[in-house]
Structure 1
Amino acid sequence: MKLEKKIKKFSGLSNNNLAIGFINITSYGYAFVNIKGFPKDIFIPKKKTNRAIEGDLVQVRFKNRKSGKKIEGEVIKVLKRKRKNFIGILKMKSQYGLVIVHNNTIHVDILIPIKEFNGYQHNEKVLVEIVKWPKNSKNPLGKIIKGFGVSGEYKTEIFSLLSEYGISYEFPKEVEKEAKEIVLKKNSDLNMRRDMRNINTFTIDPLDAKDIDDALSIRKLNSNTWEIGIHIADVSHYVKEGSFLDKEAYTRANSIYFVGTVIPMLPKILSNDLCSLHPEKDKLSFSSIFNMNNQGKILKSWFGKTIIRSNRRFTYEEVQKIIERKKGDYHEDISTLLFFSKILTKNRLKNGAISIEKVEIKFHLDKKNNPTRLYLEKSNEAHRLIEEFMLLANRKISEFFSLNLDGKPSNRTYIYRVHDEPDFQKIFVLKKIIEPLGYFLDIKNIKTSINHLLKSIQGKPEQNMIENLILRTMSKAKYSTKNIGHYGLSFIYYTHFTSPIRRYSDIIAHRLLNYYLTKKNNKLKSIEFYEEQSKHCSEKERLAIDAEREFLKYLQVKYIKKYLGKEFEGIITGFTEWSVYIDLLVFQTEGMIRLRDIQEDFYTLHSNNYSIIGRKKRKVYYLGDRIKVKLIDANIEKKQITLGWIKKE
């Protein structure tokens, strides 16, 4: 009988009390199985999971529920494994080895027979495959497929993380070959492009940036009109749809930025060289050209292919110094662009945009890639200048594509960057956390209230924590052909067009706009095709963000290890039945205290999940309360920080 028929047969309640569903196994060993049509999940005791692993499709037998009680059952059979391969740390015993997996993908250790050691070492991070699970054995038997190096080392964590997320470090040979051929040919269509090589043009990027995909140009046309160009690397000119290179870029969908390392979407000879807008070189670009008057009003717009020649590469720090000192290379051009960017910011905020200026956690790494210093990088005027012009290009391009000259919808297929309204429950939790800190949130007027909150926390120790909490309340932005607007930016039309070297979504946006401009509608695919691509890009983006966060957490835990035993101030950000989560303000990272380890009283979670209360003294701690803690442990393997509660006198 096929799997689909089995699922259909056992879906919902049945006379023989059998059902099929996906199992969720807790870290404590007991589990729950979600059955379609059941009002509640089936509870599976620890000893009745029958060798099932997190996410497996299982067949269960359940007991008839007594009134008011949960449905309890047992796993009869594993129908389909969610996965067989796991990444963990090898711990050597005298007669066998255990691979311990710390990311909750499996709730038991994997046993490695001594004959399968094959030179792998104690504390080595490995990829292991489950080969069998004997009926009466607590642990499955595994075979090591690959080693990544000693756990906790920089390269080990990079390569194991890439493997965990299914991301390839190297490009296939046919992709590298195709990229080299493109570089050798350097095909260009100069006759079809607007020549802008004689106009002052420059790039502004981080100091360590290798893939430079945007540039700005500016010139004065008359006493009341400026021409501002936003030039984006013309990646789609080189990466042809359907090529090996295109398929690989689509599979990756993003470049991934780890501290000290980039895993590019395109081979480096394209991302760092041919496509990148380096100074003093002719470069192909896809540009948005705006004529603006002295009040910042757009008088005229033009979109199309160009050739540019950047005069200078700036870092954000260099431009910020020029702004502050009011002198330096291209000072007049930079100050004019800054003037217009401030008008754009003012208009955007007036229109209801949420103004989150995210503080980024940065690390200095030594020669062995160990973190030696943690610092916070705040957005300055140079960052905001670039950001506003990129937002302008993304907005105006999507408007140009989506609207006819009369302002009515064109109904043309395009890829949008959409952002839905926030979840009310998350907003309510945010309100609960910030109130003990002396801040207020008006539920009835969210955007205005959030912007007021963001201003209030400027320069405060809790600024980064609250900004992170605000971001968590927001819906996740995504790509779609179905435009619902962008809530956070308050844009009706918005796309991603300005980073095609590192985002495949932008390559799609470039292609669609070019098909429209050159009237090559025959190259268009169905709306279903582009919606599928949009969904893929959204999923890969989430994957990249998760991988980047996990690697950052590894560095944070490794860095904080040197402060074991020290005391710090923190803010309570969350509760579970067993633990309290604390944001360590000085490190901008989260640690955990087990409720059972709090010595001053026996604390339990309140039913509202927003506070804990002591059984004897009835002392209550709320979300947002400031407390003193001691750093007890920083476990690099688990990427977990354990704190101790300092008793209040």
Structure 2
Amino acid sequence: MSRRRRSKSSDRRKPSHAPRPPGGRKGGRPGPGRKPGGGAAVEGRLEHHKSFGFVVTDPAGDSDVFIKGPSLRLAAGGDRVRVRLNPGGQRREGEIVAVLSRARATMVGPLTRVAGRWLLSPRDGEPLVVERFAAGCVPAEGAIAVARVSAWPSLSVEGRGVVEEVLGAPGAPRVRVTSALRERELPEAFAPAVAAEAEGFGRAVTPEAMAGRRTLFHLPVCTIDGSDAKDFDDAVSLEPLAPGRWRLGVHIADVSWYVRQGTELDREAYRRATSVYLPDRVVPMLPPGLSDHLCSLMPDVERLTLSTFIDLDESGRVHGTEEAETVIRSARRFTYEEIEELLNGRPVERVSPALRESVAVMGRLQLALSRARFERGALDFDMPEYRVVTDARGVPTDLVRRDRLRSHRLIEEFMILANEAVARRLIAANRPALHRIHPPPDPQKLAILSRELGKLGVRAMPRDARGLQAVLRLAGEHPAGDALTVLCVRSLKQAQYSAIPAPHYGLASTAYCHFTSPIRRYPDLVVHRALRHVLGRPAGPAPAPGWLAEAGPHCSERERLAAEAERHAVNALRAEVLGRRVGQVLDAVVTRVEPYGAFVELGGTGGSGLVRGLKAQLGARVRVRIDGADPDEGRVALRLER
């Protein structure tokens, strides 16, 4: 399943690379100027790995705390905990003294029958004694199940729970993917009331909904998406204004007209906050009646949109912007591959000479916009991506590289431009909304990056975005280019949603929001509602004071969980594919070195793994043999090919 290809800027969640080794972040050593322990207490989020764990501490940037021993029984993965640090030692270690908040109310794992009792053993927590099975749940040895916790484990008492769902046999690909959702309590099915509300709008735009809007049927509007996309939430158009000047139109599905604040539909969209894109399915934020139909900008049908018009010259300079409520009728649904063909001057069926010229101009504007953004200090990570191909039963069959095309960059640049324009409009109007912010990296992280680069023979001390740009430029030519890029990504903070406007470091934007994907992101819906207030045609009341302050962290957390589920599912299915290739030899690059071995990125797969006992420099190219795989853990067993 595909989604709008994500921008390769740092406006995304950091990728999860090799599993964390015992010892924590950077070996678990304290941050600069910090002592390992001495009875002090810290708080953070627990990462649970069966026999040990790590607490990712607040404030971010400190080294993680290694947890082992009985206190690990108290909490499960994702819980916020208070930890008492142990004195002495070369790394921060401690024990959990309190659980501040639970990440979830359910646990997922295999069922086992022990001494006449059923136990459920989660991957990231203590086993639960099953009190009972809900109606329709048939227990089976080894089956993966979901249990609602009725009593959490303590140091001396077992945890207990009620099994609410039996997912199926372990090892079934669909069960693995569903487990990734259930472990994070990401819902799939919509409640009947929510689905009915979405279906109640019908399939066609009504005259009442179109009243008072600017109709754009005269414009050559088109969508550009992946070949298997269903939720078309953005479209573009281009009009000549004068020699060397154009008006770019970015037209976004007006979800806010249908999803009104405070309705059942709105509450469910807020709860989900994002669509989840998995190898074998898409879990939408909105019911299909809206996401795949009435809000989707399909060709040859009227659709409600919010549009931003941006006047540009050949250098990519913006001369003016305007926002409006609009109605469009998309003239063509293009795939990225078709636009790539047009950009390269090759023929595509059913494309008029005027539209061909329009795409050519769009291509020139993209180059100018990319150049201008880079000159401002924006970062661009060109890392290879791989898609797990699945069959109709959800069984993974292959790993296919997804090349980043120029057509992807074209849409990325136009969407960034639209997001910036709307953010500036909201700030100028003093209208509260959710902004997408990206803080600059901590100086200590850049110092660590500089040391790691030195191990690769790169003499650089990146202190700002220009310095990072220089390293990323070098990555394209360096033998260990992938390792260089990974190191740069690790040095950055994560982008997040906030009610308080702030710059976006990775995009070099002074103001930024998410406006262009309201079908799959709740913050975009919030921005649309705010923009309608600015335009003088609100679709509901302004949000209550304080609500935005809560909505930002909520949406950021749901985004994190969705990305985590996606990674978990992809890693599991990738491991299943590679597990069928035992004995195959692959090229690999060392991305992290530890005392017990080295982690490597596997060429041609997008995967990674640990080669135990390997003594190698960071960035070294090696040949490794696949020895086996553990799809449940998403891991591949490797050994050095001599």
Q: CA deviation at 1:508?
A: 0.6
Q: Retained in 1: the 8 A contact 2:251–2:308?
A: yes
Measured in 2, the distance between the counterparts of 1:75 and 1:383 equals 46
**Secondary structure in 1 aligned to 2:362?**
helix
Identify the residue that residue 371 of structure 1 maps to in structure 2. 396
Measured in 2, the distance between the counterparts of 1:28 and 1:173 equals 38
Identify the residue that residue 4 of structure 1 maps to in structure 2. none
Percent of pairs with identical residues: 30
**Secondary structure in 2 aligned to 1:443?**
coil
**Secondary structure in 2 aligned to 1:386?**
helix
Is 1:484 the counterpart of 2:502? The answer is: yes
Identify the residue that residue 545 of structure 1 maps to in structure 2. 563
Letter matched to residue 282 of structure 1:
E
Select between 480-489 and 455-464 the one with higher mean Cα deviation.
455-464
Identify the residue that residue 107 of structure 2 maps to in structure 1. 86
**Secondary structure in 1 aligned to 2:202?**
helix
Q: Retained in 1: the 8 A contact 2:168–2:175?
A: yes
Quick one: structure 1 residues 347 and 148, their matched pair in 2 at CA, closer, same or farther if it must change by over 3 Å?
Answer: same
Identify the residue that residue 13 of structure 1 maps to in structure 2. none
1:639 is matched with which residue: 621, 630, 634? 634
Q: Retained in 2: the 8 A contact 1:89–1:101?
A: yes
Identify the residue that residue 413 of structure 2 maps to in structure 1. 388
Identify the residue that residue 427 of structure 2 maps to in structure 1. 402
**Secondary structure in 2 aligned to 1:563?**
coil
1:506 is matched with which residue: 524, 532, 535? 524
Measured in 2, the distance between the counterparts of 1:78 and 1:308 equals 52
**Secondary structure in 1 aligned to 2:187?**
coil
String of CA shifts for 1:162-214, please: whole Å, max 9, x gaps: 22111211111111111111226844443411111111111100011100011
Q: Retained in 2: the 8 A contact 1:358–1:378?
A: no
Is 1:101 the counterpart of 2:126? The answer is: no
Identify the residue that residue 179 of structure 1 maps to in structure 2. 198
Which one has more relative contact order, counting CA pairs under 8 Å at least 6 apart?
Answer: 2
**Secondary structure in 2 aligned to 1:319?**
helix
**Secondary structure in 1 aligned to 2:190?**
coil
Identify the residue that residue 493 of structure 1 maps to in structure 2. 511
Identify the residue that residue 617 of structure 1 maps to in structure 2. none
Measured in 1, the distance between the counterparts of 2:469 and 2:582 equals 37
Letter matched to residue 490 of structure 1:
A
Q: CA deviation at 1:249?
A: 0.6
Identify the residue that residue 123 of structure 1 maps to in structure 2. 142
Quick one: structure 1 residues 371 and 434, their matched pair in 2 at CA, closer, same or farther if it must change by over 3 Å?
Answer: farther
Letter matched to residue 395 of structure 1:
E
String of CA shifts for 1:594-623, please: whole Å, max 9, x gaps: 4xxx3x9xxxxxxxxxxxxxxxxxxx6443
Alignment of 1:217-228 (within 5 A): 217-228=237-248
Alignment of 1:607-646 (within 5 A): 621-646=616-641
1:351 is matched with which residue: 376, 391, 414? 376
Letter matched to residue 89 of structure 1:
P
Alignment of 1:160-171 (within 5 A): 160-171=179-190
Q: Unaligned regions of 5+ residues in structure 2, if any?
A: 1-38
Identify the residue that residue 471 of structure 1 maps to in structure 2. 489
Q: CA deviation at 1:624?
A: 3.0
Measured in 1, the distance between the counterparts of 2:129 and 2:505 equals 50
**Secondary structure in 2 aligned to 1:624?**
coil
Measured in 2, the distance between the counterparts of 1:507 and 1:437 equals 44
2:439 is matched with which residue: 420, 424, 427? 420
TM norm structure 1: 0.80
Measured in 1, the distance between the counterparts of 2:370 and 2:515 equals 19
Letter matched to residue 641 of structure 1:
V
Alignment of 1:26-175 (within 5 A): 29=51, 46=69, 49=71, 52-54=74-76, 85-91=106-112, 98-102=119-123, 104-106=124-126, 109-110=127-128, 119-128=138-147, 144-175=163-194
Identify the residue that residue 4 of structure 2 maps to in structure 1. none
Alignment of 1:599-610 (within 5 A): none
**Secondary structure in 2 aligned to 1:498?**
coil
String of CA shifts for 1:59-103, please: whole Å, max 9, x gaps: 99x99x99999999999999998767421123457966554432x
String of CA shifts for 1:325-372, please: whole Å, max 9, x gaps: 344412111001111121111111111111223432112222332222
**Secondary structure in 1 aligned to 2:235?**
strand
Q: Retained in 2: the 8 A contact 1:130–1:140?
A: yes
Is 1:246 the counterpart of 2:266? The answer is: yes
Measured in 1, the distance between the counterparts of 2:576 and 2:439 equals 36
Q: Retained in 2: the 8 A contact 1:436–1:625?
A: no
Measured in 1, the distance between the counterparts of 2:82 and 2:379 equals 48
Identify the residue that residue 528 of structure 1 maps to in structure 2. 546
**Secondary structure in 2 aligned to 1:192?**
coil
Measured in 1, the distance between the counterparts of 2:230 and 2:53 equals 47
Measured in 1, the distance between the counterparts of 2:346 and 2:376 equals 31
Quick one: structure 1 residues 531 and 351, their matched pair in 2 at CA, closer, same or farther if it must change by over 3 Å?
Answer: same
Q: Retained in 1: the 8 A contact 2:438–2:494?
A: yes
Is 1:287 the counterpart of 2:287? The answer is: no
Identify the residue that residue 366 of structure 2 maps to in structure 1. 341
Measured in 2, the distance between the counterparts of 1:207 and 1:95 equals 52
Alignment of 1:565-604 (within 5 A): 565-575=583-593, 580-594=598-612, 598=613
Q: Retained in 2: the 8 A contact 1:124–1:151?
A: yes
Higher CA-based Rg: 1
Quick one: structure 1 residues 547 and 20, their matched pair in 2 at CA, closer, same or farther if it must change by over 3 Å?
Answer: closer
Q: Retained in 1: the 8 A contact 2:221–2:331?
A: yes
Q: CA deviation at 1:393?
A: 0.6
String of CA shifts for 1:561-616, please: whole Å, max 9, x gaps: 0122333333333355656422223322121244xxx3x9xxxxxxxxxxxxxxxx
Quick one: structure 1 residues 434 and 585, their matched pair in 2 at CA, closer, same or farther if it must change by over 3 Å?
Answer: farther
Letter matched to residue 194 of structure 1:
R
**Secondary structure in 2 aligned to 1:452?**
helix
Q: Retained in 1: the 8 A contact 2:119–2:130?
A: yes
Identify the residue that residue 23 of structure 2 maps to in structure 1. none
Quick one: structure 1 residues 110 and 181, their matched pair in 2 at CA, closer, same or farther if it must change by over 3 Å?
Answer: closer
Measured in 1, the distance between the counterparts of 2:249 and 2:166 equals 50
Identify the residue that residue 199 of structure 1 maps to in structure 2. 219
Is 1:453 the counterpart of 2:488? The answer is: no
Measured in 1, the distance between the counterparts of 2:521 and 2:45 equals 35
Quick one: structure 1 residues 145 and 580, their matched pair in 2 at CA, closer, same or farther if it must change by over 3 Å?
Answer: farther
Quick one: structure 1 residues 520 and 94, their matched pair in 2 at CA, closer, same or farther if it must change by over 3 Å?
Answer: closer
Letter matched to residue 302 of structure 2:
D
Measured in 2, the distance between the counterparts of 1:213 and 1:34 equals 36
Q: CA deviation at 1:517?
A: 1.5
Q: Retained in 2: the 8 A contact 1:183–1:270?
A: no
Letter matched to residue 402 of structure 2:
E
Q: Retained in 1: the 8 A contact 2:138–2:166?
A: no
Q: Retained in 1: the 8 A contact 2:205–2:302?
A: no
Q: Retained in 2: the 8 A contact 1:465–1:585?
A: no
Q: CA deviation at 1:273?
A: 0.5
Measured in 1, the distance between the counterparts of 2:275 and 2:596 equals 38
Q: Retained in 2: the 8 A contact 1:253–1:537?
A: yes
Identify the residue that residue 442 of structure 1 maps to in structure 2. 461
**Secondary structure in 2 aligned to 1:532?**
helix
TM norm structure 2: 0.81
Measured in 2, the distance between the counterparts of 1:218 and 1:58 equals 53
**Secondary structure in 2 aligned to 1:630?**
strand
Measured in 2, the distance between the counterparts of 1:25 and 1:303 equals 44
Measured in 2, the distance between the counterparts of 1:338 and 1:572 equals 37
Q: Retained in 2: the 8 A contact 1:433–1:624?
A: no
